[in-house]
Amino acid sequence: MLNAQDNQHVTQTGPGTPMGELMRRYWIPALLSWEVAEPDGTPVRVKLLGEELIAFKDTDGKIGLIDNYCPHRRASLFFGRNEECGLRCVYHGWKFDVEGNCVDMPSEPAESNFKDKVKVLAYPCMDMGGVVWTYMGTLENQPPPPLFEWTQVVETHRAVNKVLQESNWLQGLEGGVDSVHASYLHNNDITNTSRFESRSAAPSIEVEPTDYGYAYGSVRHLSKEEGNFVRAYQFIMPFTQLRPDDRRESSSSPKVAGHMWVPIDDEHHFVWNFVYSLGDEPLTEADKAKHSDLAYEVIDINNGFRCIWNADNDYGIDREVQRTQTFTGILADARVGANLQDRGIQESMGTIVDRTREHLATTDRAIIATRRMLQEAANVVGDGGTPRGTGPSYYKVRSIQRVLPVNVPWQEGMKDLLFEGAEYSPIME
Ligand code: FES
Ligand SMILES: [Fe+2]
């Protein structure tokens, strides 16, 4: 439970809010690279942390992310002409480059130097891993680039997409660090009682803080002989989760998947989904499909990346399927994965869940740790300090799942796999 003030503190990310200031210390995914693929192509509306912005790729292939509103008399630059290394406002012709400089002001006398005094707000961008990233903070605090391992593997080994979620961002993140709900929400075969999550629906949740966030293990005891089934996740500040993608350890080509829950404004966010292959094998068509073109048949890219199954149609719930086959009756096939179930149930909690009325239990340990870490980091920023996760220590961390003997703690038994090659600082507290 949080009091109303703390609930505001952790959920609001607009300019000047504590959590908003915290988020402005990290690189943030702004849009998919293909949305601005064409030099001099169509500008794209982007809303991030409550700020209305316009993305465009200039003649030289540089990407700009600038204020939606022209600094002259506030016309939307979405209507701008993207021409010869700049976006020209169609109201009076002022033109801006990707850095926000006014490079032409044809409506003023030739001898005027007014254009040198006018700038439009512009954020630096970086195109990496199929994503255009931006940094919305001050220059002196700019962190090193977001070299998550998944952004660094070759294109055949990774896939990424995004979908609109009509709720506050923290609801998404809190679902993502809650592996307990897999036993219910994602039980897509209620007749299969041998599934680990069905055999052991009350895992113990163990959180191990690091200097970038935390690793956590959900430990499901199977039996003395079989051992414990452990799924180890990573939380990387401020909104990234890594989780093991393979359902069971026997897979020949291990994969790591993850999400980023990125605020559009306080009532909407984008859920970014990514997956990558750790081995030599590229992703299969099925892996790619879930994260690329096939998914776009159900994600309406012409309607703000909203899924065609949404609150208006109760996420396509099928009560007969719910009675006989799956726990929810909400679709979880190759096109939507389990994400539709997550989105449906998280939106059902209200746009910004009223955390004064919840009752957290022992399995909510990771959720409590997340809130605490976010609030603490926001306070660090408020005090002029550097929040965790702004260094490169998260670059190579991974997620993994294993069945371990009962006497082997996952922190030890999985250490090599979770942190192979990573220069992380272990357990700080
Ligand atoms: S409002 Fe943009 S040039 Fe006048
Ligand atoms: Fe889920």
Residue 267 maps to a domain? yes
Tell whether 231 and 380 lie within a shared domain.
yes
Residues 318 and 350 in one domain: yes
pLDDT in tens, 131-189: 999 999 999 999 999 999 999 999 999 999 999 999 999 999 999 999 889 889 999 99
Domain co-membership, 295 together with 390: yes
**Is there a single domain that holds both residue 78 and residue 182?**
no
Res. 201: pLDDT tops 90: no
Give the domain CATH number at 126. 2.102.10.10
Host H or E run for residue 20: helix 18-23
Least confident of 84-98, 109-123, 245-259, 381-395: 245-259
Residue 425 lies in a domain: no
Instruction: Name residues contacting ligand 1 (CB within 6 A).
Output: 70, 72-73, 75, 89, 91-94
Ion ligand 2, residue ranges at CB < 5 A? 342
Domain annotation covers residue 2: no
Question: Are 127 and 165 members of one domain?
Answer: no
Q: Which atom of ligand 1 is nearest to the CA of 77?
A: 2
Arithmetic mean of pLDDT, 268-281: 92
pTM for the predicted model, two decimal places: 0.95
Model confidence band, residue 428 (pLDDT cutoffs 50, 70, 90) = very low
- Are residue 212 and residue 95 in the same domain, yes or no? no
> What ranges in 227-364 are assigned the alpha helix state H?
285-291, 293-296, 319-324, 339-347
Same domain, 126 and 245: no
Ligand 1, pocket-test mutation among 66, 72, 76, most atoms within 8 A of CB: 72
Range of the domain at 77: 27-141
Flag whether 133 is in a domain. Answer: yes
| Shared-domain flag, residues 128 and 242 | no
Res 281: pLDDT: 86
pLDDT of residue 285: 82
- Domain-located, residue 402: yes
Q: In the structure, what pLDDT confidence band is assigned to residue 13 with cuts at 50, 70 and 90?
A: very high
Better pLDDT: 198 or 210:
210
Among the candidates 141, 167, 194, a domain finishes at 141
- Count the domains in the chain: 2
Of 117, 141, 165, the residue at which a domain comes to its end is: 141
Q: Which of 106, 141, 176 is the last residue of a domain?
A: 141
* DSSP string covering 135-199: E-S-GGGPPPP---HHHHS-GGGEEEEEEEESS-HHHHHHHHT-GGGGGTTT---TT-TTSHHHH
- What are the CA-CA distances from residue 356 to residues 2, 4, 359 (Å)? 5, 6, 9
* 259 and 382 in a common domain: yes
- The answer for residues whose C-beta is within 8 angstroms of residue 151's C-beta and 6 or more apart is 128, 129, 130, 131, 158
Please give the Cα distance from 361 to 341 (Å, whole number). Answer: 22
54, 87, 91, best to mutate for ligand 1 pocket (most atoms within 8 Å of CB): 91
Identity at 172, one-letter amino acid code: G
CA–CA distance, 4 with 7 (Å, rounded to integer): 5
Measured distance CA(81)–CA(376) in Å, rounded: 44
* Amino acid at residue number 136: M
- The domain spanning residue 346 has which CATH number? 3.90.380
What does the pLDDT read at residue 23? 98
